[in-house]
Structure 1
Amino acid sequence: MSATIFKNGVIWTGSAGDTTALLIDDGVVQALGDDAVALAKDADEIDLGGGFLGPSFGDGHAHPLYGGLEKAGPEVRPCQSVDEIVSAVAKFAAEHPDDEWIIGASYESSLAPGGLFDARWLDAAVPDRPVVLGAWDYHTMWCNSVALQRAGITADTPDPVLGEIPRRDDGSVLGTLREWGAMDLMKAVMPARDENVRVAALGTAADYYLARGVTWVQDAWVEPADVDTYIEAARRDALRMRFNLAFYADPRYFDSQVTTFADARRRVDEAGSPLLTAQTVKFFADGVIENETGALLQPYCTALHNHGMQNWEGDSLAEAARQVDELGFQIHIHAIGDAAVRQALDAIEHVRRRNGPRDRRPVIAHAQLVDDADIGRFAALGVIPNMQPLWAQLDALMTVLTEPRLGPERTAKQYRIRSLEESGAPLAFGSDWPVSSGAPLDGISVAVSRQTVDGEPDGGWTPDEILPIEPALSAYSAAVAYQAFADAQWGELVRGASADLVWLDRDPRTVAALELPALNVRATYLRGRPVYTATK
């Protein structure tokens, strides 16, 4: 690979500010500014055309395999009504008459009252084959009657551990399944996807991310079959971007699971791909507020004795976290409600006390609702709050499903991004794609405005939590590199760093917040090689 110099644009290095030129060679940053120009005698030149060059983005919490698989089923994500979803499923079923099951994702939960969807609505589209759709949150399924029959879910089926089976007034099963315990009843009878389809889904995910300037992603929910898929993709040289795997820790089976994590990590290491690592274990402390499974310190407004669902009882999360830390894994905990965040912080404090000091960089993902008493604990414990800035807006999900469950006081304390950043916590961003958009500029737009795409409300929702643009860019680049234990390799444009770059048509620091999603990614580079180039 010959040397390349980038010129004639704004080059943002990260913490070192702006420079005028960037020289890369053999996939590594060699020099900046005047030094780059002086050393670039025989280098190829890329004219930035007045655009912006910066470190590529990372996504600190996402589900790329699931996102890619969405393209293999009915296209229901764009649907704006139940009727549209049913029509999309009927169309897909007609076009795939040989598919025994119709499996897709991910529908918008706010399209039905309380997020509760009826099996009979899907029966109208496909009465003779099982249909299973995942909701946008991936904590909920909507199934037709044939699927429920295949899974043996009837009026006599009790709510399982860590799950809920909503019912109609007459006691019959509605068709919505909530959380792992209930969804696992369906997954146990669903056919496995063909491995070629799954490997192709990782390619679809890479296409999606690279077109948005992302070169590293944390897959935050990896089960044994997924490990096989990643290893097979590595064997086929089909990854095309950096992935880190987080093995899913299930409280129902943890004692047997934990004995397999080190072996799975060894298998990934032996695959020998520089694009694939497996250094993390993922815990779910709770569910989500929208279906009242997020764990709260005070009860839900809609159910005065319901505090939500804590997946790990007593000190079991703390002890499980200690065990995976002892194996050298990074801890990554999904915690939505304030009770779950406190339990996660307590678990990490327990790990530090029992296992002693080391560079562990634990992550609490989402941190949607954090109690005042716990804000300062992130920095004190060295915990990375990996937050999804796109969610910090008054959209339909917030106004229809979330706010009625939390009430106005708690609603106004959600997504305290600025508070955590100012507390000294190492704030990083992620998207949770395909739960929501995986485009960093979409999330950054909300982080710096707290507004919807329509500019509502004026001045931003909870404006004290608005984050300035440069910290927002860093939270999607350098901070994610720190989370990935790769801050010495990528995330900023400094001499010796990997040339992982994103080239935008304009400087995001000079663009109005609501215009950020419209910026064009002209190219994305991984170790100096263009892995995405926009068509003109």
Structure 2
Amino acid sequence: MYADIVFTGGTVRTGATDVPVQDALAVTDGRITALGPDALTVRGPRTAVVDLAGGALLPAFGDGHVHPVLGGLGLRGVPVRECGSVEEIVEAVRLWADAHPQAPWITGDGFDPWLAPDGRFDARWLDVAVSDRPVVLRTTDHHTAWVNSEALGRAGYSTDSPDPTGGEILRRAASAEPLGTLREFGAVNPVLALIPPASHEVQVAALREAAAGFAAAGVTWVQDALVEPHHIDAWITAMTTGPGLPVRADLGFLLEPDGWRERITRFAADRDRVESEAPGLLTARTVKFFADGVIESGTAALLEPYTDCPHSHGIANWSPAELAEAVTAVDALGFRPHLHAIGDGGVRGALDAIEAAVRAGGPGDRRPVIAHAQLIDPADLPRFAELGVIANLQPLWAQSDPLMTELTLPRIGPERGGRQYQIAALLTSGARLSFGSDWPVTACEPLRGIATAVTRQTSDGTPEGGWLPEERIDTATALAAYSTGCAHQAFEEKEWGVLRPGMRADLVHLAADPVETAPEALARLPVLGTWLAGRRTHAADGTPDDLCARRR
């Protein structure tokens, strides 16, 4: 029987430990059927031959934490992502508002939180551009919103408004008047709830656009880490109509503290519906929790007070007892908990909740996920391996960029600042790792994350020798975190993640072998092709795809 496709003319880096490198690969009916010389013997008259042109074929990448619907919708507002100053943002808002006079709300997504001193953005700056319509802009991390005075008024935020549970309304220094900066979902969500929701058609279009960007980056599986009820229909429609999507996905249902017991009663039915309507393409086996906020906003939960705010330990979104109860309930329903935890207090709370679920449910192959794990107390580091917790890290964050130097380090000081993003330490402890981007927070291209994990440097090569260089890892290990690590997270390690006969042909063609590429050049290594189960989903045409681009 002849193969459908044969790849030859370059390096086939399998990702397997037994036979790591081959020189050819054959695919039939979406599965790998032969490697090396055997692959060349099944080439027939109708076999498509892909010349690797001296490049490398690898297992396609996964993304273990990403927000496709939210990110795709964010591309449709004011283009603030590449603005380099407050003045540029204000001008972009003015131009967009002038061009869209009928838009009732003006929104934008992904500006840098360090562009204003201490991350404090003033509503009056936006009032200069637009005063008669509400403006809502969100930072790259999505944990802060900058709004104008009209938006503050629509939300009912005034001098007399108390800080909401799970959020903070920043105030002017000389009064209790709201400044225009809202931190965390308790403060941001009441404003977002006033914005007319995007239609189903717009959500589907946004999802298709985002998925095309993932395919161009070599990604074939994603973990949607924040799925609200109306996102489910968008995913099913996008996956099962027209050309479908170039990625598979697992959906993570968002669970918030308010009314969580009632909310989880529908999760099993939603899971069954997703998996019956898009079998083999979509799963829905995850529940997402926010244990805390982010360090740059002073909202990540810390065990010790912030350096620049001695009275504050940040914001824990759940009480320890209730988080443990909710994670245990989710585990009992057969879902995998996926917990955002940034600060060492947030990480400890997440580990404690998972430990409670293990005690209640007994032994089992759970694979719970703690995402981000920016700051881990030394006593908690071995608990990841002990509890079988997957650390899903965003390697692109492990650099000394302005977010780190202007906001993060001043808030936690040098001792805690020196133990952030402990990628190598987690691996040494025996923990399982997967990598992700958290797009649209930062770029979705895995090669950029790999470059940072290997060098711990910014794109301009600073600092020399890398930031916290003891946490650097080698290229092969970083590649595995995006392939076998994500496949393990997805419970699909028998389907994809390495290249061997019988595995699904989820493949990425790079212009050169990344293991043999200089670390500083990895981020610029072109992705020439992507295949999902043998179906080509991306072909480089010489035009860079910047959908996922971010300066960070």
Which band: TM-score by shorter chain? over 0.9
2:155 to 128, 151, 156: 151
> In the alignment, what sits opposite 1:6?
7
Amino acid at match of 1:230: W
- Per-residue CA deviation, residues 45-88 of structure 1 (Å, 9 max, x unaligned), is 11110001000000000111121112211110000000111111
> In the alignment, what sits opposite 2:87?
83
> In the alignment, what sits opposite 1:526?
532
> In the alignment, what sits opposite 1:129?
133
- Check whether the contact 1:394–1:452 (CA below 8 A) recurs between aligned residues: yes
> In the alignment, what sits opposite 1:208?
213
Aligned residues: 536
> In the alignment, what sits opposite 1:291?
297
Q: CA deviation at 1:456?
A: 1.0
> In the alignment, what sits opposite 2:463?
457
- Check whether the contact 1:240–1:275 (CA below 8 A) recurs between aligned residues: no
> In the alignment, what sits opposite 1:517?
523
Q: CA deviation at 1:2?
A: 6.0
Amino acid at match of 2:238: A
> In the alignment, what sits opposite 2:327?
321
Task: Confirm whether residue 176 of structure 1 aligns to residue 181 of structure 2.
Answer: yes
1:60 to 57, 64, 70: 64
Q: In structure 1, what is the Cα distance between the partners aligned to 2:41 and 2:429?
A: 42
> In the alignment, what sits opposite 1:193?
198
Q: In structure 1, what is the Cα distance between the partners aligned to 2:261 and 2:184?
A: 21
- Check whether the contact 1:234–1:271 (CA below 8 A) recurs between aligned residues: no
Amino acid at match of 1:420: L
Q: In structure 1, what is the Cα distance between the partners aligned to 2:179 and 2:313?
A: 23
2:78 to 63, 74, 77: 74
- Check whether the contact 2:5–2:50 (CA below 8 A) recurs between aligned residues: yes
- Check whether the contact 1:234–1:273 (CA below 8 A) recurs between aligned residues: no
Q: In structure 1, what is the Cα distance between the partners aligned to 2:320 and 2:533?
A: 46
Q: CA deviation at 1:272?
A: 2.6
Q: CA deviation at 1:270?
A: 2.7
> In the alignment, what sits opposite 2:32?
29
> In the alignment, what sits opposite 2:118?
114
- Per-residue CA deviation, residues 318-376 of structure 1 (Å, 9 max, x unaligned), is 11111001100011011101111111111111111110112111100001001111111
Q: In structure 2, what is the Cα distance between the partners aligned to 1:197 and 1:239?
A: 15
Query: Structure 1, unaligned stretches of length 5 or more?
Result: none
- Check whether the contact 2:341–2:370 (CA below 8 A) recurs between aligned residues: yes
Q: In structure 2, what is the Cα distance between the partners aligned to 1:307 and 1:114?
A: 17
> In the alignment, what sits opposite 1:255?
261
Q: In structure 2, what is the Cα distance between the partners aligned to 1:271 and 1:265?
A: 10
Q: CA deviation at 1:317?
A: 0.9
> In the alignment, what sits opposite 2:225?
220
- Check whether the contact 2:455–2:465 (CA below 8 A) recurs between aligned residues: yes
SS at match of 2:108: strand
Provide TM-score, normalisation by structure 2.
0.95
**Identity percentage over the alignment?**
52
Amino acid at match of 1:107: F
SS at match of 1:174: strand
Q: CA deviation at 1:305?
A: 2.3
Q: CA deviation at 1:119?
A: 0.9
Amino acid at match of 1:109: P
- Check whether the contact 2:320–2:353 (CA below 8 A) recurs between aligned residues: no
2:101 to 97, 100, 118: 97
- Check whether the contact 2:3–2:44 (CA below 8 A) recurs between aligned residues: no
Amino acid at match of 1:344: A
Q: In structure 2, what is the Cα distance between the partners aligned to 1:299 and 1:473?
A: 36
Q: In structure 2, what is the Cα distance between the partners aligned to 1:21 and 1:395?
A: 40
Q: In structure 1, what is the Cα distance between the partners aligned to 2:493 and 2:107?
A: 39
Question: What are the within-5 Å matches in structure 2 for residues 277-356 of structure 1?
Answer: 277-356=283-362
Amino acid at match of 2:359: R
Q: In structure 1, what is the Cα distance between the partners aligned to 2:129 and 2:81?
A: 17
Provide TM-score, normalisation by structure 1.
0.98
- Check whether the contact 2:3–2:43 (CA below 8 A) recurs between aligned residues: no
Amino acid at match of 2:200: E
Q: In structure 2, what is the Cα distance between the partners aligned to 1:91 and 1:275?
A: 41
Task: Confirm whether residue 423 of structure 1 aligns to residue 429 of structure 2.
Answer: yes
Q: In structure 2, what is the Cα distance between the partners aligned to 1:365 and 1:422?
A: 18
SS at match of 1:268: helix
Q: CA deviation at 1:235?
A: 4.1
Q: In structure 2, what is the Cα distance between the partners aligned to 1:307 and 1:194?
A: 39
Q: In structure 1, what is the Cα distance between the partners aligned to 2:189 and 2:262?
A: 18
Moved over 6 A (4+): none
Q: CA deviation at 1:473?
A: 0.3
SS at match of 1:523: strand
Q: In structure 2, what is the Cα distance between the partners aligned to 1:314 and 1:516?
A: 41
Q: CA deviation at 1:304?
A: 1.3
Q: CA deviation at 1:236?
A: 2.4
2:165 to 161, 185, 201: 161
Q: In structure 2, what is the Cα distance between the partners aligned to 1:252 and 1:429?
A: 30
- Per-residue CA deviation, residues 159-182 of structure 1 (Å, 9 max, x unaligned), is 011011111122211111111111
Q: Which moved more, 1:47-56 or 1:192-201?
A: 192-201
- Check whether the contact 1:151–1:188 (CA below 8 A) recurs between aligned residues: no
- Check whether the contact 2:236–2:278 (CA below 8 A) recurs between aligned residues: no
SS at match of 2:320: coil
Q: Which moved more, 1:50-59 or 1:339-348?
A: 339-348
Amino acid at match of 1:28: R
